[in-house]
Structure 1
Amino acid sequence: MGNKAGKLLANQLKSKYLQTKIPYILSKSQIKIYNPTDIVNELASFYEELYNLDANENTHTPDKTEILTYLEKIQLPKISQQQNNALTTPFTESEVAAAIKSLPRHKAPGPDGLPNYYYLKLEPYLSPHITKLFNKIKETGHFPRTMLEAYVITLPKPNKPPTSCGNLRPISLLNADVKLYAKLVATRLKPLLSTLVSEEQAGFTIPDFAWTSSTGQLVNVCPGS
């Protein structure tokens, strides 16, 4: 109906809004918080405390030296020099184009507002520029800061009231370009996984990025889905 949403779409959006609406949040002292800004701050404080192991005095966070010492003691499968060379060669435009064409269409965009369909529609024009960007990232180990930004939204857990921080599950909406980079790395690693990971290993999904520094420097990249 032109630029105006019809009743069908409006009713669907209203139903979705009512399912995810947070009328108030209970603080630690069980006080009801109604102000939207205070609700956001309460959620941020809750998840920061939940996921930030450094803030927990009872949890020991190993440093880099401890991690390397541990890894030296165990026998892990290794790739050959030839395989390593294949993994570290510059990305090609055909690889980038294939990664773009594999993107699902109906996914929410990240902070840059560019959905997957934007990349799918303009793939011939974008692939050369994205290839140059990704090779620069792989060479320097640094991402543009905006590329690593994400929207964190909360989804109510099934059959639980959305009035408690613990009843809300946070998810991150990433930009499509950073997911494209992860897809390229995962595609190159896929043929080698059978020699590195046991067939019996199951039960979880490896994250696209293990961790990144606040400056946008890539610290570690893992294959992801």
Structure 2
Amino acid sequence: MHFQNLVSGNTHNENENQKESIQNVFEELDAPFTENELSYGIRQLKRDKTPGFDNILNEYLITGKAALTQVLCKLFNDILNTGNFPQMWVKSIMVPVFKKGDVECG
């Protein structure tokens, strides 16, 4: 069908459809966070995980979900709107995990 459209000149419509589809994805990604989304995300967290540099345990979020959801929603939406976020969030710890093969292979 693609090559038939090339010959028949229907690529303009196809390109417009692709642009519209991409625009819809961007609009969805730029949409404000909702409290329901945050509640769902917190419900998906697993206990007994090591915290990051912020020392926030998943248990804190799970236990405090009712009190934290509204505050976190506002925080994340402010970050989305301003582009300003805590510098601590750009730090990470990467630990290589040996799976199989030669350990000495570099």
Smaller-chain TM-score range?
0.5 to 0.7
Aligned length: 90
Q: Secondary structure of the equivalent of 1:96?
A: helix
Question: How far 1:131 moved relative to its partner?
Answer: 0.8
What is the one-letter code of the residue matched to 2:45?
L
Q: Does residue 1:150 correspond to 2:92, yes or no?
A: yes
- Name the counterpart of 2:59: 117
Instruction: Give the TM-score taking structure 1 as reference length.
Output: 0.34
Measured in 2, the distance between the counterparts of 1:110 and 1:129 equals: 20
Structure 1 residue 139, shift from structure 2 partner: 0.7
Q: 1:116 to 1:77 in 2, by over 3 A?
A: farther
Structure 1 partner of 2:5: none
Distance 1:83 1:152 in 2: 31
Tell me: CA distance 1:77–1:159, structure 2 relative to 1, closer, same or farther (3 Å): same
Of the candidates 44, 48, 53, which is equivalent to residue 102 of structure 1? 44
Residue pairs, 1:155-170, within 5 angstroms: 155-161=97-103, 164=104, 166=106
How many angstroms apart in 2 are the aligned matches of 1:77 and 1:115? 42
Question: Which sections of structure 2, spanning at least 5 residues, go unmatched?
Answer: 1-14
Q: Which has the larger helix fraction?
A: 2
- Residue identity in the other structure for 1:98: Y
Q: Which amino acid aligns with 2:18?
A: P
Deviation at 1:109, TM superposition (A): 2.0
CA RMSD in angstroms comes to 2.8
Point out which structure has higher relative CO (alpha carbons under 8 A, 6+ apart).
Answer: 2
**Which residue of the other structure, out of 137, 150, 155, is the alignment partner of 2:79?**
137
1:190 corresponds in structure 2 to: none
Once the two structures are TM-superposed, the CA of residue 98 in structure 1 deviates from its matched residue by: 1.3
More strand by share: 1
Once the 2 structures are TM-superposed, how far is the Cα of residue 150 of structure 1 from its aligned partner? 1.0
Partner of 2:97, secondary structure, is strand
What TM-score do the two structures reach when normalised by structure 2?
A: 0.64
CA distance in 2, matches of 1:160, 1:134: 44
Q: Secondary structure at the match of 1:135?
A: helix
- What is the distance in 1 between the residues matched to 2:18 and 2:86? 33
Q: Which ranges in structure 1 are unaligned for 5 or more consecutive residues? A: 1-74, 167-225
**Distance change (3 Å), C-alpha of 1:97 and 1:159:** same
